[in-house]
Amino acid sequence: MSGAVQVTDPLVEHGEGPIWDGRAECLLWVDMLAGDVMAWEPPDGSIERRHVGNVAATIRPRRAGGFVVATERGFALLGGGSDGVKPLVDAFDDPSLRMNDGGCDPQGRFYCGSMAYDFAPGRASLYKLDTDHSVDVVLRGVTISNGLVWSLDGSTVYYIDTRTQRVDAFDFEATEGTFSKRRTVVEIPTSDGEPDGMTIDVDGYLWVAMFGGAAVHRYSPQGRLDAVLDLPVSQVSSCAFGGPNLDELYITTSREGRGEREPQAGALFMSRPGVRGVPVREYVG
């Protein structure tokens, strides 16, 4: 597996949630607590920054055009080009909580989980934005809701609540978008860092960013550690496959509290690990 190379300057304070936008052939991610969506377009490396609110938690393409974005306490639509932000619906009104990470299921519903600003245990939830713009709670009692991906056949959903130090799996009921039969797939020692964002490749293996662990880990669907991709910065936050052939793994990082000691922290990195990813799922609402 090739190493990770830095592809942007350290542009963000807390980078998260990368996706490859195949329509525009660019990499999108968020500077979460700045409330900005970032876009990096190879090969010239041009960068665009768009402000969407107090928080930009995660973003997914929308089938009707533009994007859906999880903001501080709810959801919004972001137009393409210079089109602005259209608030859609709030999921909660508690100012001590914020949205954090999520993704779309195979049926085109958008999910995002929350966390407390003070990291208080058990106060957060995982929310579902349905295609009719209604919002339901999928999981309660969460601490830091993070990585969320579906198996290639859509029957299983993998989920990270960071403070559990686990990747869990659920049976996924496609008609209603419900989770059941929770079980642990991966247990991660604290010495490896905290599990954060996550993606999946064409072999059904999970790629998990290790915040504080300076690495991305690849796990088999049965939970076996298959490979470790080391990075030169400690706070590795998320990853996603991109490029025209989806054979480039893009990795976001955070510079919070690390900028002076780790000058590359906050940059976007890329690796060619020898395996391809799958296209990002769209929101159909």
pLDDT digits (tens, 9 = 90+) for 46-67: 999 999 999 999 999 999 999 9
The answer to whether 56 touches 32, Cβ cutoff 8 Å, is yes
Predicted confidence band at 1 (pLDDT cuts at 50, 70, 90)?
A: low
The answer to whether 285 touches 108, Cβ cutoff 8 Å, is yes
Amino acid 259: pLDDT: 73
The answer to whether 275 touches 203, Cβ cutoff 8 Å, is yes
Q: Angle at the Cα of 177 (from 176 to 179), degrees rounded to 5?
A: 120
> How big is the chain, counted in residues?
285
Strand duo 36-41 + 236-242: pairing: unpaired
- Assign residue 42 a region: left if phi > 0, alpha if psi is -120 to 50, beta otherwise? beta
CATH of domain 5-271: 2.120.10.30
The better pLDDT of the pair 165, 1 is held by 165
The answer to whether 114 touches 137, Cβ cutoff 8 Å, is no
* 196 is known as an active-site residue: yes
Dihedral angle of Cα 212, 217, 220, 226, to the nearest 10 degrees? -130
Task: For residue 175, give Cα distances in angstroms to 126, 133, 169.
Answer: 18, 16, 18
Distance CA 7, CA 104 (A): 27
Amino acid 3: pLDDT: 83
pLDDT digits (tens, 9 = 90+) for 135-147: 999 999 999 999 9
Amino acid 250: pLDDT: 98
pLDDT digits (tens, 9 = 90+) for 197-237: 999 999 999 999 999 999 999 999 999 999 999 999 999 99
Distance CA 34, CA 9 (A): 17
Amino acid 248: pLDDT: 98
Would the pLDDT of 38 be above 70? yes
pTM: 0.96
- Mean pLDDT for 78-87 is 82
Distance CA 127, CA 135 (A): 7
Distance CA 255, CA 14 (A): 6
**Cis preceding linkage at 43, omega within 30:** yes
For the chain, counts of helices (H) and of strands (E): 0, 24
Selecting among 21, 101, 196, 201, the annotated active-site residue is 196
Give backbone dihedrals phi and psi of 234, rounded to 5 degrees, phi first.
Answer: -85, -35
Amino acid 262: pLDDT: 96
Show the tokens assigned to 16: 């998260």
Distance CA 144, CA 141 (A): 10
Predicted confidence band at 21 (pLDDT cuts at 50, 70, 90)?
A: very high
Predicted confidence band at 185 (pLDDT cuts at 50, 70, 90)?
A: very high
pLDDT digits (tens, 9 = 90+) for 249-274: 999 999 999 878 999 999 999 999 99
Task: For residue 93, give Cα distances in angstroms to 13, 72, 109, 175, 227.
Answer: 25, 10, 22, 28, 41
* Domain-wise residue ranges, the chain: 5-271
Distance CA 147, CA 95 (A): 23
- The DSSP secondary structure of 77-96, one letter per residue, reads EE-STT--EEEEEES---TT
